[in-house]
Structure 1
Amino acid sequence: MNSKKVRVIINPAAAGGRGRGAALELLEELDARSLPCEARYTERPGHAAELGAEAREARVRGVVVVGGDGTVHEVVGGLLAGGPGVLPPVCVFPAGTGNDFFRMVGAERNAAAVARVLEQGAVKHFDVGRVRWDRGESVFVNVLGVGVDVDVLRCRARFARLKGLAQYLAALLYALATYRAPEVRIDVGRGGRTLLGRTTLSVITVGPSMGGGFKVNPGARSSDGRLDLFHAPAMSLLRIMALVPRVIRGTHAGMKPLTMCRIEEARLGRTDGKPVWFEMDGELSPEPARELRVNVMPRVLPVMVPANA
């Protein structure tokens, strides 16, 4: 990178406070390599979006996000708040629980690797999902979902001592014990197919995985100009648990009763017209929505990746 400073946006509360330690490790590494940077710490929910918008306005050389998928979600939302355009490239030092966005980057998970990406990496343009609903809109960098994943988010704090996939699995088992599958309608594209019925999990992703490593859409690509739909209808607990190992490995394509397909846009909502809660990038939506209108924003997000990625 040139001598212009990068902006390091840090969520010190990520993963139960591990974000602060990760930030210190990274800042020491950047200082040792004489890589100029300036740090900004988030102070409240939504603050990372403000810092992202400020970074774009300041025309910084790049933005390094220290946090998890939720922090990346906020920062990118702030960067794109002014619409697509010339954006600073984003680099990620994963310090969250799931870190599924970072899996798309393909770098090693240590401060030295992040510094090498800043020094020698390439810029790849990732797709971003956009969702609009009754009274709002947002972007998502990896996943938008309805179904049991919403209940999983609500109970993950019970399993805070666990990390990544182990935490998601524990929360999933807990959530399934009381989960009541809503009946949904998913319209895929204009004049495309319609899915009707109760859902265990319906997610639209940019990349292959969610929940810390569940490869729900193993064929998804971050820069192909499309999103990927995974829909698992309501089924017995035994059937769900039989599917889970296959989904973790990403070997479930073609299995019934799952639906998997590539999309550019979709509409999703409950068949009874009631609002439905949803999640974006591992964070609960600010409010439920009667209908979610989703589309892809092709290759709008510059992301720093290893030179050989």
Structure 2
Amino acid sequence: MRALLVVNPKATTTSERVRDVLVRALRSEFDLAVERTRRRGHATTLAREAAAGGVDVVCTLGGDGTINEVVNGLMTGAPVETRPALAVVPGGSTNVFARALGLPKGWAEGASVILEALHAGRIRTIGLGRADDRYFTFCAGLGLDASVVRRVEQARLRGRTSTPALYMRSAVSQYFTAIDRRHPAISLEQPGEATEAELSTVIIQNTAPWTFIGDRAINPNPGASFDLGLDVLALRRLRVPSTTRTVTQLLSRHSEPHGSQVIRLHDVSEFSLVAERPQAFQLDGDYLGEREKVRFTSVPGALRVIC
């Protein structure tokens, strides 16, 4: 069985020794090639070439951004059964996708589970989300959510380490200083439904949870699933009292977001977000610039995953 290991050498929680150990373990099971990413988008090219070359499994060692790039490279026009399966070894700071699949958050335990799954023939087919022409595995966002991701990425470029505290500080800073909370600019348009206008931020989930703060899962839409359509959480006006209440609900283990400023949609097949002015946009925790319109669709049965 042929496999490609795509390694992000800047992965947060791995080292050269870790990579060597993983390569030796995988070579005991595969005819393995190893490639290191050199720039943004490189993992997409590597995965696309692997799919064209008849590789059976593409394995990633990196974070959610590396996984997203590989998934987009695997999504060729070929039937899902003939495309390489994906195996994910957690190597980032949060590893939302791997943990949503039920994998351990540590690289060693995750690699062990993958090898066991290969011996047992455990392959799961999951659905993906698509934003315009790009696929995502677990989440997308337009507005405040994405502006926080942008600020964290800027901090990381200055040498900061990605931590829950950094995300929390960035969220507070963006909320009070960087967004227009008085004039919501986003509308949600869904075929056959009335338009939801004057939205400040929109979070889209392809699975649950949306993210993690340390070991705590954050679950705006706990019914979201790889086996269903997309789930949506949208907030209208970001007034301090209502926003504080929503954040408290998000952090609670016993309450789901609700209230007059909250919109939630479950198992949606397609919709569009249209903004009056450019809004920050993210997919799977990677900032992708600003957009004024994005069309979202659910893509069922799109990807085979070893887990």
- Fold conserved between structures, TM > 0.5: yes
Structure 2, unaligned runs of 5 or more: none
The alpha carbon displacement at 1:284 in A equals: 1.6
Equivalent residue runs for 1:14-93 within 5 Å: 14-15=11-12, 18=14, 22-31=18-27, 33=28, 35-82=30-77, 84-85=79-80, 86-93=82-89
Does 2:263 align with 1:267? Answer: no
CA spacing shift, 1:261–1:92, aligned 2, 3 Å: same
When the two chains are superposed, the root-mean-square deviation of aligned CA atoms in Å is: 2.4
In structure 1, give the amino acid aligned to 2:220: V
CA spacing shift, 1:141–1:120, aligned 2, 3 Å: closer
In structure 1, give the amino acid aligned to 2:115: L
Q: Please point out which of 99, 104, 108 is paired with 2:100.
A: 104
1:10 — aligned with what?
7
1:283 — aligned with what?
286
1:206 — aligned with what?
206
Question: Percent same amino acid among aligned pairs?
Answer: 24
What SS does structure 2 have at the residue aligned with 1:276?
strand
CA spacing shift, 1:21–1:204, aligned 2, 3 Å: farther
TM-score (normalised: structure 1): 0.84
The alpha carbon displacement at 1:244 in A equals: 2.2
The alpha carbon displacement at 1:140 in A equals: 1.2
Equivalent residue runs for 1:41-190 within 5 Å: 41-82=36-77, 84-85=79-80, 86-108=82-104, 109-121=106-118, 122-132=122-132, 137-156=133-152, 157-158=154-155, 161=160, 163-178=162-177, 179-181=179-181, 182-188=184-190, 190=191
Residues 94-135 of structure 1, C-alpha deviations (whole Å, 9 max, x = no match) = 112332111221012232442332343511111111122xxx
Cα distance in 2, alignment partners of residues 195 and 151 from structure 1:
21
In structure 2, give the amino acid aligned to 1:185: S
Q: Please point out which of 286, 292, 295 is paired with 1:293.
A: 295
In structure 2, give the amino acid aligned to 1:13: K
Residues 10 and 19 in structure 1, CA contact (< 8 A), matched pair in contact too: no
Residues 46-103 of structure 1, C-alpha deviations (whole Å, 9 max, x = no match) = 0000011011112212111111111111101011143553211111111123321112
Q: Please point out which of 221, 226, 229 is paired with 1:222.
A: 226
Residues 124 and 305 in structure 2, CA contact (< 8 A), matched pair in contact too: yes
The alpha carbon displacement at 1:21 in A equals: 5.6
CA spacing shift, 1:166–1:207, aligned 2, 3 Å: farther
The alpha carbon displacement at 1:211 in A equals: 4.2
In structure 1, give the amino acid aligned to 2:206: V
CA spacing shift, 1:248–1:57, aligned 2, 3 Å: farther
2:198 — aligned with what?
197
In structure 2, give the amino acid aligned to 1:301: L
What SS does structure 1 have at the residue aligned with 2:192?
coil
